[in-house]
């Protein structure tokens, strides 16, 4: 058995940031070009030398780059293929390249634990001593590319070599896997410089909150699309959207949960609002496959609240301690709040997102309003509008579903072929027709636009075929953007008790939708 050195953390203490940008490329020129671009957002870079065909040949150019940019703290990595990297040489070549990297200016050298275990005690101690002589620290890392399991055992394998940094990386298959990584960080951070990350989309929580729990740093990509590991997000996103380098123990954690959830605009909208109103909070996208997984994360992290999408709007109901009366009648919630004593309350802010924009334009009491669809958004619309005194007509492709909803909400069901026989104060589209990627652009024909107002609940794209058609006929419209922002406004009020910056929330969402085209 190898004997660990007696002086852990003996490498030089470095001043580096909390966000390290990982750089990999096919050629040295491409790698250094990407490194130069990364300097706009970070001065802490990891060079994945194993992504190069000939890592050693790139070191002179790397040395010139680091000499020209003395404020950069660089990590050198040359992970071998059996251990999840790309380098195909033997251990001796890996150690030689990493040692040369330290002499070119890399201040931290990442050696995978499998290589540390393969090396002889004398070989590893000689390597460590040479690194320290070059002014570099030794980081030993463990990666599990399939699951999150036995994390403390993995950390123990690394700690046996008393490196300057311990890095444990797993793969999250559930949101709860983040809890295991964050616990490891919390347990080890008092005695070690530790980095802990769960890869994969479900592991975003660990990437953002790791430094808050005591991780020395976290990893990011240069830009979206240049990830060196699954689930990595860009440094700009970590810093500007999630403020990962500014979060502290008092930061309240919120989320938007669903599957898929990557393209949700809720993080942009709410994090902008938090920053604008100086609320110490962050909202993260949570890829939740089950309500049980989401609730476990919320209670154990703990979180302060969450926005949720279908089918979680229904699945979370059995876990709630309190449900707002109208949300109970609708049978779905889209907003969760956790009280100081850990009790979970559910609300449906879709009602506000629908009723409020309409009430600003028409008198709802006695208004004749047609709702297209009978799904979750339709239920919120129907119950909310009936409560406001409107006469509501439901038109759905499956008429039986319209009848059932009408019976539950004291509304009326109407067959589609009867639509032209009526005149409405407003028609609401709650179907996915016109949504980006939808095969069906319109929920009704031009001859059926027999209303004084058209309310489109689809918000991506901003300009749906239905909105274009209505405007071409001179009919006033309400866009799905307004509904999305209004329901978010109500969420912000529920979570913070503060007046939300509505105009700013709308501005950032509209700008992002235009950018996405």
Domain 253-348 class, CATH top level: alpha beta
Whether 309 shows a pLDDT value over 50: the answer reads yes
Out of 278, 287, 313, 514, the active site residue is: 313
Task: Report how far residue 20's alpha carbon sits from residue 30's, in angstroms, rounded to the nearest whole number.
Answer: 18
Q: What is the mean pLDDT of the chain?
A: 95
Looking at domain 19-248, its CATH architecture is: Alpha-Beta Barrel (3.20)
Average pLDDT over residues 75-82: 98
- Percent of the chain residues topping a pLDDT of 90: 95
d(CA 14, CA 261): 37
For residues 485 and 511, the answer to whether their CB atoms sit within 8 Å is no
Provide the token pair at 209: 């909150």
Query: Using an 8 Å Cβ cutoff, are 267 and 285 in contact?
Result: yes
Please, which residues have CB within 8 angstroms of residue 420's CB and are 6 or more apart in sequence? 447, 448, 450
User: Which pLDDT score, from 0 to 100, does residue 226 have?
Assistant: 86
Q: Indicate whether 3 pLDDT > 70.
A: no
Span between the terminal Cα atoms of the chain, in Å: 60
Stated pTM of the model: 0.94
The two three-digit tokens of residue 193, written as one number: 């410089």
- Look up residue 501 and give its two tokens: 């910056």
pLDDT of residue 442: 94
How large is the average pLDDT for residues 131-141?
98
pLDDT at 439: 87
pLDDT at res. 35: 97
At residue 195 the predicted structure's pLDDT band, cuts being 50, 70 and 90, is very high
Half-sphere CA count of 325, side-chain side, radius 13 A:
2
- What's the average model confidence in pLDDT over 326-338? 97
Do 19-248 and 253-348 agree at the fold level?
Answer: no
| Nearest Cα to Cα of residue 413 among 374, 364, 365, 383 | 374
pLDDT at 4: 42
Instruction: Give 252's strand partners.
Output: 281
pLDDT value of position 8: 45
Query: Span 293-314, mean pLDDT?
Result: 96
Domain 351-478 adopts which CATH fold?
Rossmann fold (3.40.50)
Confidence class for position 12, pLDDT limits 50, 70, 90: low
Cα gap 151→452, rounded to integer Å = 61
Torsion of CA 254, 255, 256, 261, to 10 degrees: 160
Confidence at residue 10, expressed as pLDDT on a 0 to 100 scale: 53
Q: In a 3-state reduction of DSSP, which class is residue 334?
A: coil
User: What tens digit of pLDDT does each residue of 211-226 get?
Assistant: 999 999 999 999 988 8
What's CA 466's distance to the chain center, in Å? 31
Stronger pLDDT, 76 or 9, i.e. the higher one: 76
Q: Report the alpha-carbon distance of residue 408 to residue 431 in Å, rounded.
A: 20
Domain range annotation of the chain: 19-248, 253-348, 351-478
**β-strand pairing of 73-77 with 44-48:** parallel
Collapsing DSSP states into helix, strand and coil, what is residue 167? strand
Summarize pLDDT for 236-288 with one digit per residue, the tens.
999 999 999 999 999 999 999 999 999 999 999 999 999 999 999 999 999 99
Instruction: Please write the tens of the pLDDT for every residue from 444-502.
Output: 999 999 999 999 999 999 999 999 999 999 999 999 999 999 999 999 999 999 999 99
Please tell me the predicted confidence (pLDDT) of residue 5.
44
Supply the pLDDT for residue 11: 59
Percent composition of the chain: helix, strand, coil (DSSP 3-state, to 5): 45, 20, 40
Of 180 and 9, more confident: 180
Residue 175: in which H helix or E strand, if any? none
The Cα 13–Cα 81 span in angstroms is 30
**pLDDT over threshold 50, residue 386:** yes
Q: Is the pLDDT of residue 1 over 60?
A: no
Q: Residue 437 has what pLDDT?
A: 85
Q: In this structure, are residues 110 and 76 in contact, taking their beta carbons and an 8 Å threshold? A: yes
* Nearest alpha-carbon partner for 405 in 464, 334, 331, 471: 331
Instruction: Tell me if residue 365 is catalytic.
Output: no
Structure confidence at residue 9 (pLDDT)? 46
pLDDT (mean) for 102-113: 98
């Amino acid at each position: 058995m190898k004997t660990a050195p007696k002086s852990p953390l003996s490498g030089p203490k470095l001043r580096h940031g909390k966000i390290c940008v990982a750089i990999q490329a096919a050629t040295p020129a491409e790698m250094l070009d990407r490194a130069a671009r990364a300097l706009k957002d970070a001065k802490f870079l990891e060079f994945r030398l194993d992504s190069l065909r000939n890592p050693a040949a790139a070191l002179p150019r790397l040395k010139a780059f680091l000499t020209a940019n003395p404020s950069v703290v660089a990590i050198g990595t040359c992970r071998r293929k059996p251990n999840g990297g790309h380098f195909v040489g033997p251990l001796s070549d890996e150690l030689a390249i990493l040692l040369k990297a330290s002499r070119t200016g890399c201040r931290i050298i990442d050696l995978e634990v499998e290589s540390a275990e393969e090396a002889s005690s004398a070989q590893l101690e000689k390597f460590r001593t040479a690194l320290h002589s070059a002014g570099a620290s030794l980081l030993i890392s463990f990666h599990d590319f399939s699951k999150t399991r036995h994390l403390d055992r993995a950390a123990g394998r690394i700690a046996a070599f008393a490196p300057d940094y311990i890095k444990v990386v797993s793969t999250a298959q559930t949101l709860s896997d983040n809890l295991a990584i964050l616990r490891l960080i919390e347990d080890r951070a008092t005695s070690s410089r530790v980095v802990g990350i769960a890869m994969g989309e479900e592991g975003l929580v660990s990437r953002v909150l790791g430094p808050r729990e005591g991780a020395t740093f976290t990893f990011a990509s240069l830009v979206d699309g240049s990830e060196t590991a699954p689930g990595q997000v860009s440094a700009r996103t970590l810093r500007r959207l999630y403020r990962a380098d500014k979060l502290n123990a008092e930061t309240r954690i919120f989320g938007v949960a669903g599957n898929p959830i990557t393209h949700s605009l809720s993080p942009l909208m709410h994090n902008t609002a938090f920053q604008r109103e100086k609320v110490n909070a962050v909202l993260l996208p949570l890829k939740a496959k089950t309500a049980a997984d989401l609730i476990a994360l919320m209670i154990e992290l703990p979180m302060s609240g969450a926005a949720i999408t279908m089918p979680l709007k229904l699945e979370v109901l059995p876990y709630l301690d309190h449900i707002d009366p109208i949300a109970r009648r609708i049978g779905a919630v889209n907003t969760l709040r956790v009280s100081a004593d850990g009790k979970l309350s559910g609300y449906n802010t879709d009602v506000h997102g629908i009723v409020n924009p309409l009430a600003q334009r028409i008198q709802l009491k006695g208004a004749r309003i047609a709702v297209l669809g009978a799904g979750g958004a339709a239920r919120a619309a129907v119950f909310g509008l009936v409560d406001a005194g409107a006469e509501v007509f439901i038109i759905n492709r499956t008429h039986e579903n319209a009848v059932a909803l009408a019976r539950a909400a004291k509304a009326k069901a109407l067959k589609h072929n009867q639509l032209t026989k009526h005149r409405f104060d407003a028609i609401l589209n709650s179907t996915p027709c016109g949504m980006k990627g939808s095969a069906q652009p319109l929920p009704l024909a031009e001859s059926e636009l027999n209303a004084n107002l058209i309310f489109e609940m689809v918000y991506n794209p901003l300009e749906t075929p239905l909105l274009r058609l209505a405007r071409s006929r001179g009919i006033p419209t309400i866009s799905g953007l307004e509904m999305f922002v209004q329901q978010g406004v109500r969420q912000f009020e529920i979570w913070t008790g503060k007046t939300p910056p509505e105009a700013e929330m709308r501005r950032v969402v509209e700008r992002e939708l235009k950018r996405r085209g």
